[in-house]
Structure 1
Amino acid sequence: MQLTIYFSPAEVAAVQPSDNDVYIVIDVIRATTTLTTIVERGASYVLIADMLEQAQQAAQRVPGRLLCGERNALPLPGFDYGNSPVQFAQLDLSGRELILSTTNGTRAFFACPEQSVRLAGCFYNAEAVCAQALHDAAERQGNIAIVCAAEVGYFALDDATCAGYLALELQRQHPALQVHESVLAAAALYHTYTPPKLLEYCNSARSVRKAGLQEDLEFCMRISQSNFVPQVLGRDVETGLLMIGVPI
């Protein structure tokens, strides 16, 4: 079993990825941390939209779904909620259906093969998502890839640093794991920018701080506090959007 890290979704398409592999998608500040929090709070599932128009149309088709999202860290006019894990952590979402569109994170799931296992990873669910990835990869006789959402298509320090931590956790749980040299680079970044030091250097943190959401940053740096691992369950028949939740 081999581990590879892609520092942006575009890198995935460039290598003709395998459907048998398991993909951990990271947008640590904040989409994958938010997704983990949402399912932790009892939501049935989250529909993730690549574009705002898709999200708005999906909300119109089925009244009662919570419309959530952001652009450039800011909540959107007319949406029920933004992309704040701190805010969602305070809600009871039992049985609720949500729609989420974010600047970077939700798009990364669409870059992975349609039939692959796609998991949402972050610091917050680090131990659990690594255990799930290893289990699924062994079951499918595939490899593991970590996909960084990046920032508007370009390298993002926060996602790459989180990828380094998850890579180290995967190796801790499975010492025989073979690693690509991309893993060595990401691990070095983690050792250099160990949280919360990371927040002093990454653009994502600056944008969120500027939006007045400092508490979100602190939340996103919490390590292995959740046992929930959101994953792509398929596509919603009515809207065509990817459905993310926890398998029953």
Structure 2
Amino acid sequence: MDDLMLRVHLLPDLVEPMALKDGVVVVIDVLRATTTITTALEHGAKRVIPCLEVDEARRVAAEHPQAVLGGERGGCPIPGFHFGNSPAEYRHELINGRTLVFTTTNGTRALMRCRAAAAVFIGSFVNLSAVCEAVRAFDNVHLLCAGTNGQITSEDVLFAGAAVHRLSNMQGDRFAPSRWNDSAQLAFEFWRCRVPNITREQVENSLRLSHGGRNLTSLGMQDDITLASQVDKFSCAPHLNLHAWEIRKS
């Protein structure tokens, strides 16, 4: 185990919080929390404050002038919130300079799992290269999939596989397959099988077939799948400040 440098965790509950101690974690909730957080920050949000519960989010927002509320439950917007969890909602003219207080069903729960980590980044296809560049110099990298309601979701595993592939290409022997855990090997093989030519169309098709993709389609939110499939649209790697408990663009 001491020789492992790159680990994928298919669900937050499959890793003990203290196992993340001193490591760098990339939290993954492709459909849609980590895509939406990255989009909001790229479009000018000052910071994102993740909250576990709806009532907590309302209390936190009341403490911050100019704060706006965003998030979802069961994929649907929360009554009384300014925004849902669609990246399309977070336009520059609406979010620029504002504090976003944000709560989602799965993504914010995954963030809570990382309190003992040395550093936490936000990962999605829209910032794949940026987040890999941000963590490439670290030892002990963890890719943490949020899943959906305690179930493994292929959209998050797909991104984890893409990140494993990218990091291994960047760092050579340092992130060689012999230094991956079994879940990293599975994620890499899944990525290589589903997206052999690494095109946006292949990513989008795979996301549409996923649990999260089917959920969004059933809710009439299939356009969010297209937005989440735009590989390397953005160049930031949002970073969670574990002391201030806020995410900022980095």
Same fold (TM over 0.5): yes
Among 216, 241, 247, the residue aligned to 1:233: 241
1:244 aligns with 2:244: no
* Aligned counterpart, 1:34: 36
- Give runs of aligned pairs for residues 13-92 of structure 1, distance below 5 A: 13=16, 16-89=18-91, 91-92=93-94
Match for 2:104: what amino acid? T
CA contact 1:6–1:146 (8 Å) conserved in 2: yes
1:176-220, Cα deviation, whole Å (9 max, x unpaired): 212222211001211233312213421211121222222111010
Q: CA RMSD in A?
A: 1.7
* Aligned counterpart, 1:162: 159
CA contact 1:48–1:99 (8 Å) conserved in 2: yes
Q: Secondary structure at the match of 2:157?
A: helix
Q: Secondary structure at the match of 1:24?
A: strand
Q: Secondary structure at the match of 1:161?
A: helix
Q: Mark the runs of 5 or more structure 1 residues left unpaired by the alignment.
A: 237-241
TM norm structure 1: 0.89
* Aligned counterpart, 1:2: 5
Match for 2:204: what amino acid? P
Structure 1 distance, partners of 2:93, 2:72, is 18
Structure 1 distance, partners of 2:119, 2:227, is 26
Q: Mark the runs of 5 or more structure 2 residues left unpaired by the alignment.
A: 196-202
1:196 aligns with 2:207: no
CA contact 2:11–2:144 (8 Å) conserved in 1: yes
Match for 1:245: what amino acid? R
Identical-pair percentage: 29
CA contact 1:125–1:229 (8 Å) conserved in 2: yes
1:72 Cα offset (Å):
1.3
Structure 1 distance, partners of 2:85, 2:243, is 21
CA contact 1:12–1:112 (8 Å) conserved in 2: no
1:219 aligns with 2:227: yes
Aligned length: 236
Among 139, 143, 147, the residue aligned to 1:146: 143
TM norm structure 2: 0.89
Structure 2 distance, partners of 1:21, 1:165, is 20
Q: Secondary structure at the match of 1:5?
A: strand
* Aligned counterpart, 2:110: 108
Structure 2 distance, partners of 1:222, 1:23, is 22
Deviates more, 1:192-201 or 1:173-182: 192-201
CA contact 1:42–1:92 (8 Å) conserved in 2: no
Structure 2 distance, partners of 1:114, 1:180, is 20
1:72-126, Cα deviation, whole Å (9 max, x unpaired): 1111110000011122145453321110000101110111143520000011100
Deviates more, 1:153-162 or 1:200-209: 200-209
* Aligned counterpart, 1:184: 185
Deviates more, 1:112-121 or 1:43-52: 112-121
1:69 Cα offset (Å):
0.7
Q: Secondary structure at the match of 2:90?
A: helix
Return closer, same or farther for 1:191/1:233 CA change in 2, 3 Å cut-off: same
